[in-house]
Amino acid sequence: MILTDGNEYKQGISRILITEEEIRQAIAKAGVEIDHEYAGKPLLLVSVLKGAFVFLADLCRAVTIPCEIGFMAAESYFEGTSSSGTVSISYDLKQDISKYHVLIIEDIIDTGRTLAIIYDMLKAREPLSLKVLTLLDKPDRRLVEFKADRSLFTIPDHFVIGYGLDCGEYYRNLPFIAEYNAGTGD
């Protein structure tokens, strides 16, 4: 799907589920909690690309203690609106995490497969601690038993876009979370 028409793009937005202000407030609160929990500890925030990059950018600015940033990339959707069931790690961390408290920053936990694989992979590298903070949790879709240590929002079983989340690589730039209108040709 290639979108070149602004009207077609706007038609992909069914309704706003979480506003820009609600996201901002939740991230500010999470930043304070991270500051408290990890004060005086070596902290590594690990973003799962591509979807979590917007969340990580805002979250790391809300954190006022020293922290480092790392990136991983995993795919399971491959341009569709439902998980393929196959998880591919296309970019891995480069640093040794054994001297860090690692906080995985995820955009959404849907089936749980992708994050469970990443979590187990990082756990095997023996960080000082390992936790997960997700922007969105969609428990109705869970196929594997996995629960984040902290979720900013729990949402119903809708395919969502915005604030880093995409459909066919579009809509990541929306400042809010919206339900995707599947009747737009996807």
Q: List residues with catalytic annotation.
A: 110
Q: Are 69 and 42 in contact (CB under 8 A)?
A: no
Report the distance separating Cα 24 and Cα 20, nearest Å.
Answer: 6
Distances in Å between the alpha carbon of 98 and those of 19, 68, 126, 129, 138?
37, 14, 5, 9, 30
The residues that bridge with 180 in the sheet, in sequence order, are 13
Q: Which H or E run contains 15?
A: strand 13-18
For the beta carbon of residue 173, count every other beta carbon within 10 angstroms.
Answer: 10
Report the distance separating Cα 93 and Cα 48, nearest Å.
Answer: 10
The residues that bridge with 104 in the sheet, in sequence order, are 46, 132
Report the distance separating Cα 86 and Cα 96, nearest Å.
Answer: 26
For the beta carbon of residue 101, count every other beta carbon within 10 angstroms.
Answer: 18
